Amino acid sequence: MNKKFSTTSIAFLGFLSLTFAQAPKYSNEFLSIGVGARALGMSNSYVTSVNDVTSGYWNPAGLLGIKNQHQVALMHSEYFAGIAKYDYGAFATRLDSNSVLGVSLVRFGVDDIPNTTELIDANGNVDYDRITTFSAVDYAFLVSYAKQLKIPGLRLGGSAKIIRRKVGDFSGAWGFGLDAGAQYDYKKWKFAAMARDVTTTFNAWSTNLSEETKAVFVATGNEIPSNSVEITLPKLLLGAARKFDFTEKISLLAELDLDATFDGKRNVLIKSKAVSLDPHMGLEASYMGIIFLRAGIGNYQTYTDAVGKKINTMQPNIGVGVKIKSVYIDYALTDIGDKSVALYSNVFSIKVDINKKPK
């Protein structure tokens, strides 16, 4: 038991140290997972076709696609066999015929983590009553606004986001950033551009470690975290989509997206020191606008196996959806990484249109 708890303590200390030593390219990665089962079923190929309350996350320009006075959405998913929980909620309201306002909240957290840094008391005795638990949680609050311009087919939007990251009572960070997006309709085609963290997002970390915890850091060879600033560099998402109507009841929506990052070489399909490009594609088949079947492919990666052979992988996603009057219920079978690393997860989301009550 002592060995087990010692291992847990060292793993926790390493996790806390990495929080402050994180490379910029992996900052605020919980905001790269995606929201809404519809988008996740299409492998996050959604910045162009998004036209609902989830636009606050994907592309704020899409908020103008809301037809009703209000719209609300909720989502819940769990990853790594339920260890990590991911929740999302959003609300949007139409201000007038040319503008929409939306708010979104994202939470990604691991709860009930054992804290064994004080397992051994001042006399060197193991006391299991000294074990406590804590949560490592990331929050994001977004306020989004979309405006229809006088240029036909062009919509613009922006999101201001506040980031709150917290590791128990040991440390926490506050951050602020801006996103900007555009959508443009040209004949039967739709095009979009989304700049995330366009001004660069800054997270200011502060620590609150007791002397006993600092002593455990030193004893286990871990660096004591200090106050620091973590940055999230801009990312550009580009997309194109088209809807094909086969009959009056059956249609197919296809979207191809390209994520461009500028923070060094990443493990994606097209990579270089200057820019890395990650393509992904999604499809949605619709029957009478009531029943939906979705599929997507993306997350192209290359890794080296135990014998030194390079292997290329990609991640398929699938999903279904149904519309019952003003309620949309969606499901996706997806993953936040390559299937060899993490188990596929079930994602459920619900969206409701709300008409303004007559006076």
Task: For the chain, give the longest Cα–Cα distance.
Answer: 79
pLDDT at 220: 72
Whole-number mean pLDDT of the chain?
A: 86
Tell me the per-residue pLDDT of 203-240, one tens digit each, with 9 for 90 and over: 888 887 776 667 767 777 777 777 788 888 899 999 99
The tokens describing 338, both together, are 């390559």
What is the distance between the alpha carbons of residues 111 and 113, in angstroms, rounded to a whole number? Answer: 6
pLDDT at 197: 93
Task: Give the residue, 242 or 9, on which the prediction is more confident.
Answer: 242
Helices (H), the chain: 2-20, 37-41, 55-58, 211-219
- Highest mean pLDDT: which of 8-17, 28-37, 182-191, 335-344? 182-191
Candidates 50, 80, 76; CA nearest to 179 is: 50
What is the distance between the alpha carbons of residues 122 and 139, in angstroms, rounded to a whole number? Answer: 36
Confidence of residue 22 (pLDDT cuts 50, 70, 90): very low
What phi, psi does 221 have (nearest 5°)? 75, 20
What is the distance between the alpha carbons of residues 191 and 229, in angstroms, rounded to a whole number? Answer: 35
The total of other beta-carbon atoms located within 10 Å of residue 300's CB is: 17
Question: Do 350 and 74 form a contact (C-beta atoms < 8 A)?
Answer: yes
Tell me the per-residue pLDDT of 115-157, one tens digit each, with 9 for 90 and over: 777 777 777 777 777 788 888 999 999 999 999 988 999 999 9
Tell me the per-residue pLDDT of 292-322, one tens digit each, with 9 for 90 and over: 999 999 988 888 877 888 888 888 999 999 9
Question: Do 231 and 201 form a contact (C-beta atoms < 8 A)?
Answer: yes
What is the distance between the alpha carbons of residues 52 and 164, in angstroms, rounded to a whole number? Answer: 25
Confidence of residue 6 (pLDDT cuts 50, 70, 90): very low
pLDDT at 17: 43
The total of other beta-carbon atoms located within 10 Å of residue 106's CB is: 22
pLDDT at 169: 81
pLDDT at 229: 84
Tell me the per-residue pLDDT of 256-274, one tens digit each, with 9 for 90 and over: 999 999 888 888 888 888 8
Those residues with Cβ within 8 angstroms of residue 317's Cβ, 6 or more apart along the chain or in another chain: 40, 41, 42, 43, 282, 294, 295, 296, 297, 298, 332, 333, 334, 335
